């Protein structure tokens, strides 16, 4: 008798498995496993990841911009530093600046870990004005480069010079210089300090 009971139990268990109580209302059947006389339903497969970063489409990169990124911190116009020539500085939302002058210094970061970076430049025109340029780049084709630029004219009659001079006169007595205007445009972030160091120690604050 004892040798027949497992067979009878096995048949009952098989009947339970064939009944498939785990079938999901007409959808695909779920697997059922018999463990120690109990019908155990197999776990449902994990759903597909809903991580937006994994499901987001991959951005297309620009081969030309990737080449610029690989050159960092070198820039395509490094050979123009100190050379008098004609320049065109692009400005978004304003007329581009065309002039004959010299690129005094430029700076870019050593790398672009987020595939984005900025380029700073300072020019001096033959007429004694200074041009400050800031270019923001991205390697992605759908992200256009952004261009900002300003001109510092030391002539008192120029509006930008008058505005900056008035602000400076409230706190300091010395006349406004193109270096003051450069700091107003670039600030003192790490890249700006790299730019200033290439122009010797003129931008350092000397104390006693």
Q: What average pLDDT does range 7-13 have in this prediction?
A: 45
Give the closest residue to 135 by CA, choosing from 67, 66, 208, 191: 191
Query: Are residues 108 and 72 in contact, defined by beta-carbon separation less than 8 angstroms?
Result: yes
Strand partners, 148: 134
DSSP 93: T
Q: Which residue's entry shows tokens 């759903």?
A: 47
- Strands 116-125 and 130-138 turn out to be antiparallel
Collect all residues with Cβ–Cβ distance below 8 Å to 188 and sequence separation of at least 6: none
Over residues 71-125, the pLDDT tens digits come to: 999 999 999 999 999 999 999 999 999 999 999 999 999 999 899 999 999 999 9
Report residue 135: phi and psi, to 5°: -115, 130
């Amino acid at each position: 008798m004892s040798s027949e009971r497992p067979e009878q139990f096995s048949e009952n268990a098989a009947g339970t498995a064939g009944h498939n109580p785990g079938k999901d209302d007409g959808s695909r059947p779920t697997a059922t496993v018999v463990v120690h006389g109990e019908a155990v339903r197999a776990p449902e497969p994990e759903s597909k990841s809903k991580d937006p970063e994994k499901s987001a489409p991959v951005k297309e990169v620009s081969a030309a911009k990737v080449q610029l990124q690989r050159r960092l911190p070198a820039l395509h116009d490094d050979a123009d530093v100190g050379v008098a020539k004609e320049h065109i500085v692009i400005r978004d939302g304003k007329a581009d600046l065309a002039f004959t002058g010299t690129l005094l210094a430029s700076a870019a970061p050593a790398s672009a870990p987020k595939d984005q970076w900025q380029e700073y430049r300072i020019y001096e025109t033959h007429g004694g004005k200074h041009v400050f340029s800031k270019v923001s780049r991205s390697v992605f084709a759908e992200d256009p480069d952004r261009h900002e630029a300003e001109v510092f004219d030391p002539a008192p009659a120029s509006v930008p010079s008058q505005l900056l001079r008035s602000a400076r006169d409230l706190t300091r007595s010395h006349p406004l210089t193109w270096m003051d205007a450069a700091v107003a445009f670039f600030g003192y972030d790490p890249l700006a300090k790299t730019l200033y160091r290439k122009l010797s120690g003129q931008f350092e604050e000397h104390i006693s």
